[in-house]
Amino acid sequence: MTATIETGPGATAVRHQPAVRLAGVTKTFRDGGAPVLDGIDLDVAPGEFVCLLGASGCGKSTLLTIAAGLDAPTQGTVEVPDGRAALMFQESALFPWLTAGQNIDLALRLRGLSARRERRAEAERLLALVRLHGAYDKRPHQLSGGMRQRVALARALAQDSSVLLMDEPFAALDAITRDVLHEELVRLWEATGLAVVFVTHNVREAVRLGQRVVLLSSRPGRVAREWRVDIPQPRRVEDKDVAELSIEITEHLREEISRHGR
C-alpha cells in the first residue's frame, strides 16, 4: 500500500503541465555563503497533495516562499502556471490592524469578490470551517496562538488559488482540533482539486494527509527521498498503515539528520 520512490532525474516528473514546477532551485542568503537550498527539482501535479518533511532549519519555509514567488531563487526557475500560489505563513502573520474576519475579508476582496454581503457570508463560512465561529470581530492580539493559525488558514483558503502552500499550519493545535481540520482539509482538497504543498514536522500528519511525502536533507537542502502514500482516504492518524510508514520515514529522517551531523 505504500511505495518508496527513488529520487533521480525524471523520477518526480509529471507528464502534463504541473501546478508548481521548481527546477534547479538554489538559494544562498549571503554572497559566498553556503547555499540553503541546492538544486531542488520538484514538480507538483494539479490536484496533488505533497507533504514536505525535513529537519528544523533545513529550508522548508524558504522553499515555500520561493514557490510563492515572494523571494527570488539565486539560481533555477519557478513556474506556477495558474498564477500565484496561496501561501499560509509559518508565523500566522495576520494584519494587526484588521479583525480576524476582516483579514479574511481582505483576501476575498483582493481575489475579486466585490459584494460586501457575499464576502461576509464567505468569511463566516471559512471561520466556521476552522472552528472559529463568532471570532469575526476579534483582533489578532486577542486570539490564542492556535486560533491565529486557524484564521491564517481561513485566509489562505479565501484566496481560492489552485495551489495552496502551507507552512506547519497545524503546529499550534491540539490533537482533536487538528484531527477535525485534517478531515476538513482532505474534504476540501478532494472537492476542489487543489494542489497542496504541506510542510509539517509531524510525520504521522504527513502520512495521514499526503499522496506523496518528500524528505529534505539539510545543509544544503536537497530532496533526499520521496514516498508515495497509497493508503486510501479516509485515513486516520492512528491507522496501522499510517503508523508503519511513519516509523519508516522517521527512521530516514533520523538518518538524514545524523548524517549531516550536528
Partner 1 sequence: MDAEAVESKDALATVEAGLDALETSSDHEDSTLIRVVRAAYPPLLALALILAVWQLLYASKIWPDWKLPGPSQVYDSLKDAFSNGDVWPAVGHSIGHGAVGFAASVALGTPLGLLVGRFQPVRAGIGPILSGLQSLPSVAWVPPALMFFGPTPAMLYTVVLLGAVPSIAVGVVAGLDHVPPLYLRVGRNIGARGLASVRYVLLPAALPGYLAGLRQGWAFAWRSLLASEIIVQSADLGHSLGFLLKNAQDTNDMAGAFAAIVLILAVGVAVNQLLFVPIERRVLKTRGLA
User: Least distance in Å: CB of 64 to ligand ATP?
Assistant: 8
232: Cβ contacts below 8 Å, ≥ 6 apart: none
The binder of 87, among partner 1, ligand ATP, a second copy, none, by C-beta within 5 to 8 A per type, is partner 1
Q: Identify the three-state secondary structure at position 73.
A: coil
Residues 6+ apart with CB under 8 A from 239: 231
CB of 124 to partner 1, least distance (A): 18
* Residue 191 CB, nearest approach to partner 1 (Å): 22
Q: Give the distance from CA 124 to its chain's centroid.
A: 23
Residues 61 to 90 in contact with partner 1, rule: CB under 8 A:
65, 68-72, 74, 84, 86-87, 89
What does the alpha-carbon distance between residue 44 and residue 63 come to, in Å, rounded to a whole number? 13
Q: Does 90 bind Mg ion (CB under 5 A)?
A: yes
Of 45 and 126, nearer to ligand ATP (C-beta) is: 126
83 binds, among ligand ATP, a second copy, Mg ion, none (CB under 5 to 8 A by kind): none
Cα–Cα distance for residue pair 99/204, rounded to 1 Å: 33
**Contact mark string toward partner 1, 129..168, x via CB under 8 A:** ----------xxxx------------x--xx---------
Give the position of cell 489552485: 162
Q: Tell me whether residue 45 or residue 140 sits nearer to ligand ATP (CB atom).
A: 140
CA–CA distance, 30 with 191 (Å, rounded to integer): 43
Site for Mg ion in 148-187 (CB under 5 A): none
CB 204 within 8 A of CB 243: yes
**Residue 61 is a binding residue for Mg ion (CB under 5 A):** yes
| Assigned C-alpha cell, 119 | 464576502
Give the shortest CB-109-to-Mg ion separation in angstroms. 28
